[in-house]
Amino acid sequence: MSSREFNLPDVGEGLTEAEIVAWKVAEGDTVTVNQVLVEIETAKSLVELPSPFAGVVTKLLVEEGTMVDIGTAIISVSDAGAPATPDATPDAAPASAAAPAAAPAPSNDATETIADTAASIAADDDKPGAVLVGYGIKGHVAPRRNRQSAADAPPTRAAARPSSVPAASASAIIAKPPIRKLAKDLGVDLATVTATGLAGEITRDDVVREASQASLFRNIETPQWATDREERIPVKGVRKAIASTMVSSAFSAPHVSLFVDVDATRTMEFVKRLKNSPDFAGVKVSPLLIMAKAMIWAVRRNPTANAQWTDEEIVVKHYVNFGIAAATPRGLIVPNIKEAQDLPLIELARAIEQLTITAREGRTQPSAMAGGTITITNIGVFGMDTGTPILNSDEVAIVALGTIKQKPWVVDGEVRPRFVTTLGASFDHRVVDGDVASRFLADVASIIEEPALLLD
């Protein structure tokens, strides 16, 4: 019998350390290849590490809450009791080990209200587990069981059931561990959720829909004062990285900010038409989608708003990795949609959905936050009119979308109720001069005022 140690890998971005947040296995457990062993927090995000080999856990070498340098041995696994089949997949892992990391509560920013985001694409459930740097993806994956057809599937909880069925079975809840975790984090009671899955299971869409109806962004209860007079929160992980990045951005890039009030009535009408369109069936549409498209369009007309400053040169990027700022209990993250300039409207909508739910579940990977070129922050979900956002690292422009609400507005000499919003934008004045900044924001505003311009 031999024993092997698993060293903490660099999960990307050239990280030097990470915190052991939660072990997903215990000493004496049998583990399979790709089974999740531990959840770690890097300076970027929460990451689940899968096992590169099978066997029995002999010792957990690092306690939860400990900061560990990359390359440090964190767990020892012996080959005694290893499964006979070396090609074990994540499906073979016990449900308790496969449970996802603690997901953050709903974000602000960009991710809009829960009502404005759909759940992740169904196919996401069929993707393989996380892959460690240096280990790669296994070439063979055991086939999954076929889903039951609609005819063979058991009736959903909302469907009528024969009177002979015991009451207990009528209230059975079918939901995968990640869905149960999402429901817990969003404060959703699964017993109140109507299942729409083919086999009567509760899907991510079902949970998000229920959360929307519960209006989670409204604080209807005021907690009691804490018994401790003070709380001390260690500055580490994501919060430490945020502090460093914000200070660097605020004091190295000379910010200039602009603001404009916009009549968004036609955008709201356009969003309503898209929601009723068969082409967008099953896709959640919101004003954020139109804002994203407007910014991408404005970048094409004003390329230097999509650039990077270095001491030697200005790098103008002729592609858009569109960042959406997401505030979570663990701190601000800015995942981005790669090559967003190539996506048609419906694909951009789906990409925003996927980004949103992934961030809420705490599954955003470092690679998803790297290489951004321009960012939006949606402060309107909290009823804020506007703000002066700080630039994301290595970017020269960021736009804040304020709340959209009815206000008196002069149209053709008459005061009428219109849906109005305020756009606020910050630019790196080393790269973006006042005229370019003004033209860029004016272009974004023109799309919000008349989305038909996107069809040119």
Catalytic residue positions? 429
Q: What does the alpha-carbon distance between residue 441 and residue 279 come to, in Å, rounded to a whole number?
A: 30
Q: Is 227 helix (H, G, I), strand (E, B) or coil?
A: coil
- Given a contact cutoff of 8 angstroms between Cβ atoms, the answer to whether 334 and 375 are in contact is yes
Helix axes 287-301, 265-276, angle to 10 degrees: 120
Segment (H or E) for 301: helix 287-301
Residue 324 near residue 231, CB atoms below 8 Å: no
Q: Are 6 and 73 in contact (CB under 8 A)?
A: yes
Question: Which phi and psi angles does 419 have, rounded to 5°?
Answer: -80, 120
Per 3-state DSSP, what percentage of the chain is helix, strand, and coil (rounded to 5)?
Answer: 30, 20, 50
Do 140 and 89 meet the contact criterion of CB atoms below 8 Å apart? no
Determine the Cα–Cα distance for residues 138 and 338; give it in Å rounded to an integer. Answer: 25
Q: How far is CA 113 from the centre of its chain?
A: 13
Give me the phi and psi of 302, to 5 degrees please.
-135, 75
In whole angstroms, what separates CA 24 from the centre of its chain?
Answer: 22
Handedness of CA 117, 343, 47, 206 (dihedral sign): positive
Instruction: Give 234: exposed, middle or buried? Use CB within 10 Å, 0-12, 13-18, 19+.
Output: exposed
Summary count for the chain: helices (H), strands (E) = 9, 19
328/101 Cα distance (integer angstroms): 14
Using DSSP, state whether 368 is helix, strand or coil: helix
Residues 148, 199 contacting (CB under 8 angstroms): yes
Q: How many C-beta atoms surround the C-beta of residue 331 within 10 A? A: 19
Tokens in use for 314? Answer: 């200005």
Query: Are the beta carbons of 368 and 352 closer than 8 angstroms?
Result: no
What 3-state class would DSSP assign to 56?
strand
